[in-house]
Structure 1
Amino acid sequence: YSGETKIVKAIEIHSEKYVFNTKISISNSSERFLGVKTVLVDEMADIEKKALMPTFERQEFFTVNEGKEKRVILKKDESVNEIYPKASVASLGTQYFSQSLVDESTIIPEFRIETVDHKAIGMLNYSLLNKTENLTITYKAFMGPKYLHILEGVNSQLAGLIDFGMFSWLAKPMLKLMKWFHQLVGNWGLAIIMLTLLVRMLVLPFTVMSYKSLNKMKVIQPQIAALKEKHKDDSQKLNQEMMQLMKTNKVNPLGGCLPMVLQFPVFIALYQVLGQSIELYQAPFFLWIHDLSLKDPYYVLPVLMAITMFVQQKITPNTMDPAQAKMMMFLPLVFALFMVSLPSGLTLYIFVSALFAIIQQLIFTRDTNKPAVVTA
């Protein structure tokens, strides 16, 4: 009680879902009663900058305001002070864990987030418009690991806590597939390998299209070089002759790129799944890899990945000029430097994918390595 105001707070705990339901009943509120505030506090940590690639490790706040999701990465040395007037979800958390409030009241709360003294403070504020009214406030408080099935079981809006990116509609089925593979083999590393191979098989038709187009382009490279020399002072004539040459030999200039563009959402979605899924947290693979959510401690996978990418580059039909080809030789090394700090589960995926691509290329080269007739 507070003067004439009566406040009753009831909490119902569901430990299996890491959630407790809260109901606050307010009656006979006085003019001095301003409302109800619920506060989230998270200690700001130093997120180490690792190598060249952005890390998945982070602190963030997440809210759903007027039906729109908003996510902001928090940094210890940066100040934040923002207000969301109609928030249904308020959350502070890290890559794998979260403390979140989900409003289920008739009155819509305001969410304020600010950083003070190296702490992130989130405040859900229920203000009374009519100071003498009776009011019931209900919300769910989730504090636990960000397993997708648990979050969706608490409230569908909490699924947004896992940042699957713009291709979440692809990422979620991939996560379910990976979990199904894990149930079969009992090892998350093997589940990643199986999922990677399945994805590569699904996009195989597009890959074959790309290989065929690149091979056709390689065959007519001498004719293209001759045309460039012949019409080096007349770019318009050069373009006309090149287009005619490609048309005559049934070569689509975009044929090598379009299939890769179509595959792009699939591989980005898989990349996000492996970088964001708590299922890989402290999950061992084999030998030296004891946690697939951490980097490879001995950098074995990044080195193997660089080697496979280099081999793949060597056996793939080359349609670039010598200067471009020389620059591309350094790409595997640069990519390996980017990847040394990322989760070993991600590096495992890229290594297996590149290894599969090498086998694909060898088979394709064997089947298509026949003399080709070029029509001038």
Structure 2
Amino acid sequence: MKPNHIRILFLIAIGIMFISLVGRWEQTFPSNGNAQQSTSKQENSHYETSKSPNETVVANPGSKDNETFSDYAKSGVETINTKVFKDLQVSLLNGAIISASLKDYDVSLEDKSPMSLLTDKAGSQYIAKSSIVINKKPVSIRFENKGIKKQSNGIVLTLQGSVDGLEVTRTYAFDDNKYEIKIDQKITNTSNDSIGVIVDNSLVRDFDHDSDSFSLLNAHSYTFTGVAYSTVNDKFKKESFKDIAKTSKPSVVNNVGQGWVAFLQHYFMSAWIPQSTDSTIYYKKLSDDMFEAGEYTYNNIAPKTSVDVNSVFYTGPIIKTNLESLAPNLEKSLDYGMLSFFSEIIFWVMNEIHSLVGNWGLAIILVTVLIKAIFYPLSAKSYRSMAKMRMLQPRIKRMQETYKDDRQQLGRKMMELYKEEKVNPLSGCLPMVIQIPIFISLYWVLLESVQLRQAPFIFWIHDLSMKDPYFVLPILMGLSMFVQQKLSPAPADPMQAKIMMFLPVIFTFLFASFPSGLVLYWLTNNVISILQQWIITRSYKAAHTHKK
């Protein structure tokens, strides 16, 4: 097999295998770094109430919530609608947010109803709650609606309730155009004794392990589902639900400074962002398929005094510009993997082009043209090297025939030929090596950017983040690879030539499961490469013939 064929096969294979391995690594071993150094395991409880000499460890309320999911709806709900939320429901039991649908995101191409991110429906429960724990005892509060006020930019819901000497006033401030909710609580001790109060803001959700199985032919199985958090010491850490399910004890992360904790899934997230600087973050398994993550703060409230506990709750798409201003490192939830630096640049350029042309498929094509233009000097060098090798093929074949029984002598003669003609058979490798990170970076942009979710191109391509339903693009890509082979020097060995002929078929099969946007990029890249290679090869051949 000729060197240029070896490098094409090797580098493309390395690129695809690297994508698969990175996807598998990110799913199986999410970025935890030294999380174990700052994480302590609690046998029975995730509460660490050591902030006061008189304080003791709070007993675990149990492996499941004291209230069932159905209790929240039965206790009555207040429904909020904004420009981004449809039928967001706040239960009067503990003020839990038990339902939230996103108006700008459909369930699927076939189902145009708003996607439910939070829900209390059996089998897919996913809620946010703010619990009150008094002197080691979790309590339930039956709130009353004290009014819903419409403001110029949103809505404010006020709930009030009392329990065991505490009066709790909680407000939910909704901005009409934003996915974050400001939740402020004023907790008043109406008794004659000090009361130790924990405010525990958490997320609870069901998770189907079978739906998260990894498949080489399913690109979306590379995405992460689990817990993410940030502290001063751990800027951004992740723990998959599969890994959490393997432990029976809560994980508690001490925090000094503003942090946050979130549930991540493909394209979307929910996060609690405490406004205090001394919250404690935790995550744990409640049962085989139920998980909880949250943050809590402790306050010792003197008689007849009040404390304010303020938080921000975000539930919506993972969009960097939405997250940057909410908390440090929250934007890292948009995780493009190890090549995120390149991915962010590519997405920024794509987004700017999209703002002009209004079509993500066209933006991908134009980004590809731009990338090829930037790398043209290197590509031209590669194609000139291949053209030289093609011109030398007759002489190489004669050498192979002459020295077919002496491999060492053949090697020496070929090296002499390369030196005489000033040809480096591997000189074209560098451009390809440089472009592999671009390919992988774009892959993660297409896979992780919610803007590409259900983004149409033309005709039959209705979702660039999903595979081509009719496999037209993969077939065209395979044909383009075949044309590229015809422009390249052919292997002298007939068996190797047959193997090379099968490569387009193999890669067509592999790319058939890739996002159609990625296949569009690769097809466009191949077409431009074919044009560049044809022009350079023709001009080199003409110049070489004229010289002779």
Counterpart of 2:238 in structure 1: which amino acid? R
Matched residues in 1 for 2:493 and 2:254: separation? 57
Whichever of the two has the greater Rg, that structure is 2
User: Please, what TM-score do these two structures have when normalized by structure 1?
Assistant: 0.82
Counterpart of 1:85 in structure 2: which amino acid? V
Q: Among 144, 152, 163, which residue is 2:316 paired with? A: 144
Matched residues in 1 for 2:380 and 2:486: separation? 18
The percent of aligned pairs where both chains have the same amino acid is 34
| Superposition deviation, residue 107 in structure 1 | 0.5
1:110-144 Cα shifts (integer Å, max 9, x gaps): 2214373433x23223254x856897544322111
Structural mapping, 1:147-162, within 5 Å: 147-162=319-334
Counterpart of 1:147 in structure 2: which amino acid? I
The 3 A distance-change label for structure 1 pair 98 and 287 is: same
The equivalent residue for 2:51 is none
| Superposition deviation, residue 188 in structure 1 | 2.0
User: Please, what TM-score do these two structures have when normalized by structure 2?
Assistant: 0.58
Matched residues in 1 for 2:284 and 2:443: separation? 30
Higher relative contact order (CA 8 A, sep 6+): 1
Q: Does 1:40 align with 2:203?
A: yes
Matched residues in 2 for 1:263 and 1:174: separation? 13
Q: Does 1:331 align with 2:503?
A: yes
Q: Among 91, 99, 102, which residue is 2:273 paired with? A: 102
| Superposition deviation, residue 18 in structure 1 | 0.3
Counterpart of 1:124 in structure 2: which amino acid? G
| Superposition deviation, residue 356 in structure 1 | 1.6
Matched residues in 2 for 1:248 and 1:9: separation? 83
The 3 A distance-change label for structure 1 pair 83 and 75 is: closer
Counterpart of 2:204 in structure 1: which amino acid? V
Alignment gaps of 5+ in structure 1: none
CA contact (8 A) 1:177 1:195 kept: yes
| Superposition deviation, residue 19 in structure 1 | 0.4
The equivalent residue for 2:478 is 306
Q: Does 1:55 align with 2:225?
A: no
CA contact (8 A) 2:301 2:307 kept: no
| Superposition deviation, residue 295 in structure 1 | 2.1
Matched residues in 1 for 2:307 and 2:402: separation? 82
| Superposition deviation, residue 103 in structure 1 | 3.7
The equivalent residue for 1:216 is 388
Counterpart of 2:278 in structure 1: which amino acid? I
Q: Among 457, 464, 467, which residue is 1:292 paired with? A: 464
Q: Does 1:125 align with 2:295?
A: yes
CA contact (8 A) 1:44 1:76 kept: no
Counterpart of 1:41 in structure 2: which amino acid? V
Matched residues in 1 for 2:344 and 2:479: separation? 31
CA contact (8 A) 2:263 2:293 kept: no
1:299-333 Cα shifts (integer Å, max 9, x gaps): 21121111112212221234685544432322222
Counterpart of 1:355 in structure 2: which amino acid? V
The 3 A distance-change label for structure 1 pair 127 and 202 is: same
The 3 A distance-change label for structure 1 pair 48 and 86 is: closer
The equivalent residue for 1:170 is 342
1:272-302 Cα shifts (integer Å, max 9, x gaps): 2122221122222222222222222212112
Instruction: State the number of aligned residues.
Output: 370
Secondary structure of the 1:112 match is strand
Q: Does 1:226 align with 2:392?
A: no
CA contact (8 A) 1:51 1:338 kept: no
Q: Does 1:85 align with 2:253?
A: yes
Matched residues in 2 for 1:334 and 1:215: separation? 26
Moved over 6 A (4+): 27-32, 48-51, 132-135, 231-234, 237-241
